[in-house]
DNA sequence: TTGTAGGCGTTATCAA
DNA sequence: TTGATAACGCCTACAA
């Protein structure tokens, strides 16, 4: 029971494989009747061409890939949707690929480029430190999106993100202005190069700028080793630990909305009213945060504009109209119900 | 700038392509030193083999695919994780593919089987009505998981799901026992063959069994046409419409937890207290529901067991130990904070 | 309008 | 231990 191929169809139709191929690909130079008959047979047999063979032949594809690391983070959903849409408008097709936590995204990109003859890549999520040598192997334009970037530290590759340090600082500034003095932080990867670190840095700067001092007891990091760390559960665990540690605090800055949601639940379980007893704020601006009770105060990343900017930049690079560059977008401090004055 | 191939490596190493291939695939019949040298060159050049060519040659692969329709529904996250784990235990690799709302999952499966020489398929999400002819083209074992099945209506293909009708009926039963008489329902695809329809059927049966009558004013369906319909936003819209329609109701049965979350927010915005003024219950048992405020009352599908059962059945079918069959798993009524007695 | 033949990059078989 | 060569399934000159 070998798979049926274009040859079998040809035999069944009493014609050659090229004719079948022509029918399959809507070539003009084919007799309409022949085409009809061939398509009929194809429908009857349920023949499906082998993509590997097609891709192997291809030298060019008008396709770009979206490589997403951390698919469960709902923050990416909207961005993916918009990007797919914009890519389609450019008459390209999208290849959406999820990268497991233990996979190297650049390696995946390298393979995919060869396999599918991609024209460009967008990296969504993941760390922003990569093996430079590997990255240089990538012969097609690529853009890191929402991965974070240090302002004033230009890199040779394209990057679209918000200024995580500055935006986090703004958020913590706001909390301090509300009278909070003991502000905890919960997050992931606070100390290794990642968006987590950038957001932690913003927290530190705000604390320092106001002459407060950093209290190690108010810092909680997501447990390492788990495959998916940006989860509500982790937010719950970290906040719970913090709240029951005996340390005093009137606010918690969470480096992601998913953490903030877990933190709110932990606070509620500890009998704390939000925001009366404790203010809890997030980062990202995921839509769930706007439907949570209380609605989450957060740093809203401009997902639509970031998605647009990413795709525009990518296609500009593809058509050689622009060089790789870092584009920093302004985020928005969204004050909602989960934060307020220190009582 | 043609892509570098195995031939280039061979030339660079002064050996033949077969030797390079052997080095690449850890064949035993190769001189360790030759191997060393070749691997060295490969590392230096950053050579990556072309998967299309590899797949084209392959006749067999020890891989199964997970085709997920509706990736944004967090309900699938856990299941995917468990399935991937179990597949790995079986020494198979997983190919995770997301199917767009407008794609035909069986068609995607057909293509993927040819392209990657799959040994099996799991369909997650999507409708449960498919073109039988197409399904029969699929020459490898496949299992529909969590898609819903009508009890007592056996199909020729494998299916792992909960009894959506019975479980929904249980939930609505519970609401009626709590004294509710005007129970609204919000959901997706209530009238076309889908899990939505099954859950609606359960609602109808419970209503009828208690001698109540179905009130069309209390039925709200998600707007058609949108690509992603299982969203919190849709839950919010439907509940909002219902609450402001003037119709009386003391409870809302939502056919999915994501809808219930949106509904809770809508109720809160309308100034209703949950569950004092209105009970809101969901279906699925997603983890977010347990962190929502109030915690969601729901029908918890046994995701772990369903994932296990799905993979076990699939591999049993692959090894011809079992025939396709429908496996119905028991769900659990989880009473939490979002529901209570009618006041 | 149709058919023949060569090649895409890799692996496997068979000789050497 | 290595090398030449024939597939894998499809597309596309080029020839008819």
Q: What is the DSSP string of B114-135?
A: HHHT-SEEEEESS-S---HHHH
Looking at the DSSP assignment, which residues form a beta bridge with residue B99? B69
How would you list the strands of the sheet with A251-254, edge to edge? A219-221, A183-187, A251-254, A279-281
Note whether residue B343 is domain-resident: no
Judge if A24 and A143 occupy the same domain.
yes
Q: What is the pLDDT of residue B100?
A: 86
Judge if A240 and A321 occupy the same domain.
no
Residues 11-40 on B with a CB inside 8 Å of A are none
What CATH number is associated with residue A93? 3.40.50.2300
Judge if B176 and B323 occupy the same domain.
no
Note whether residue B336 is domain-resident: no
Which residue does chain B place closest to A293, by CA atoms? B293
Rg (CA), chain B: 25
Q: What is the C-alpha to C-alpha distance for residues A124 and A142, in angstroms, rounded to an integer?
A: 11
Q: Is A1 on the interface with B (CB under 8 A)?
A: yes
Residues of A in contact with B77 (CB under 8 A): 72
Q: Is B232 on the interface with A (CB under 8 A)?
A: yes
Measured from the Cβ of residue A263, the count of other Cβ atoms closer than 10 Å reads 34
Note whether residue A335 is domain-resident: no
Judge if A34 and A132 occupy the same domain.
yes
The pairing of strands B219-221 and B251-254 is unpaired
Q: What is the C-alpha to C-alpha distance for residues B141 and B162, in angstroms, rounded to an integer?
A: 21
User: How many CB pairs (< 8 A) connect A and B?
Assistant: 104
Q: Is A46 on the interface with B (CB under 8 A)?
A: yes
- Work out the end-to-end distance of chain A between its first and last CA atoms, rounded to an integer number of angstroms: 75
Judge if B202 and B294 occupy the same domain.
yes
Note whether residue A334 is domain-resident: no
Q: Is A232 on the interface with B (CB under 8 A)?
A: yes
Q: What does each of the 343 residues of chain B score in pLDDT, given as a tens digit?
A: 578 999 999 999 999 999 999 999 999 999 999 999 999 999 999 999 999 999 999 998 999 999 999 777 778 988 999 999 999 999 999 999 999 888 999 999 999 999 999 999 999 988 778 888 899 999 999 999 998 776 666 678 999 999 999 999 999 999 999 999 999 999 999 998 889 999 999 999 999 999 999 999 999 999 987 678 889 999 999 999 999 999 999 999 999 999 999 999 999 999 999 999 999 999 999 999 999 999 999 999 999 999 999 999 999 999 999 999 999 999 999 999 999 999 7
Note whether residue B276 is domain-resident: yes
Which residue among B56, B114, B262 sits closest to A56, beta carbon to beta carbon? Answer: B56
Q: What is the pLDDT of residue A226?
A: 67
Judge if A142 and A201 occupy the same domain.
no
Q: Do A48 and B96 count as a contact with CB atoms less than 8 A apart?
A: no
Note whether residue A336 is domain-resident: no
Judge if A207 and A142 occupy the same domain.
no
Q: What is the C-alpha to C-alpha distance for residues A26 and A29, in angstroms, rounded to an integer?
A: 9
Total structural domains within chain B: 2
Which of B83, B288, B303, B336 to mutate to probe the A interface, most A CBs <10 Å?
B288
pLDDT above 90 (res A129): no
What is this structure's pTM?
Answer: 0.93
Strand ranges, E, within chain A: 63-69, 93-99, 120-124, 142-145, 158-162, 183-187, 219-221, 251-254, 279-281, 298-300, 326-329, 332-334
A54 CB neighbours strand D below 7 A: yes
> Average of pLDDT values for A165-184?
98
What are the distances in angstroms from CA B130 to CA A74, A195, B134, B137, B147?
A: 30, 44, 8, 12, 12
Task: Annotate A213-240 with DSSP letters as a single string.
Answer: ---GGGEEEPPSS-S--S-HHHHHHHHH
What is the residue range of A176's domain?
164-300
């Amino acid at each position: 029971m070998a798979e049926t191929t274009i040859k079998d169809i040809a035999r069944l139709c009493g014609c050659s494989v090229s004719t079948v191929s022509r029918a399959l690909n809507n070539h003009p130079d084919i007799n309409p009747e022949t085409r009809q008959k061939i398509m009929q047979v194809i429908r009857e047999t349920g023949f499906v061409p082998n993509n590997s063979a097609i891709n192997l032949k291809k030298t060019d594809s008008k396709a770009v890939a979206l490589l997403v690391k951390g698919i469960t983070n709902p923050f990416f959903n909207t961005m993916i949707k918009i990007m797919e849409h914009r890519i389609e408008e450019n008459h390209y097709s999208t290849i959406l690929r999820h990268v497991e936590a233990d996979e190297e995204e650049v390696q995946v990109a390298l393979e995919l480029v060869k396999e599918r003859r991609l024209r460009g890549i967008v990296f969504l999520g993941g760390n922003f430190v990569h093996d430079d040598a590997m990255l240089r192997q990538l012969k097609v334009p690529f853009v890191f999106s929402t991965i974070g970037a240090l302002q004033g530290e230009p890199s040779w590759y394209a990057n679209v993100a918000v200024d995580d340090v500055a935006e986090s600082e703004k958020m913590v500034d706001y909390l301090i202005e509300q009278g909070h003095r003991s502000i905890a932080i919960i997050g992931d990867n606070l100390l290794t190069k990642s968006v987590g670190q950038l957001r932690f840095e913003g927290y530190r700067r705000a604390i320092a700028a106001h002459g407060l001092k950093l209290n190690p007891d108010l810092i909680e990091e997501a447990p390492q080793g788990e495959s998916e760390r940006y989860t509500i559960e982790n937010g719950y665990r970290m906040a719970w630990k913090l709240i029951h540690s005996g340390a005093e605090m009137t606010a918690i800055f969470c480096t992601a909305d998913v953490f903030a949601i877990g933190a709110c639940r932990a606070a509620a379980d500890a009998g704390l009213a939000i925001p009366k007893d404790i203010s809890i704020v997030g980062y990202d601006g995921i839509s769930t945060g706007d439907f949570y009770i209380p609605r989450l105060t957060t740093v809203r990343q401009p997902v639509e504009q970031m998605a647009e900017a990413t795709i525009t930049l990518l296609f500009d690079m593809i058509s050689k109209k622009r060089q790789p560059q870092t584009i920093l977008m302004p985020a928005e401090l969204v004050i909602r119900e989960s934060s307020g004055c220190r009582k």
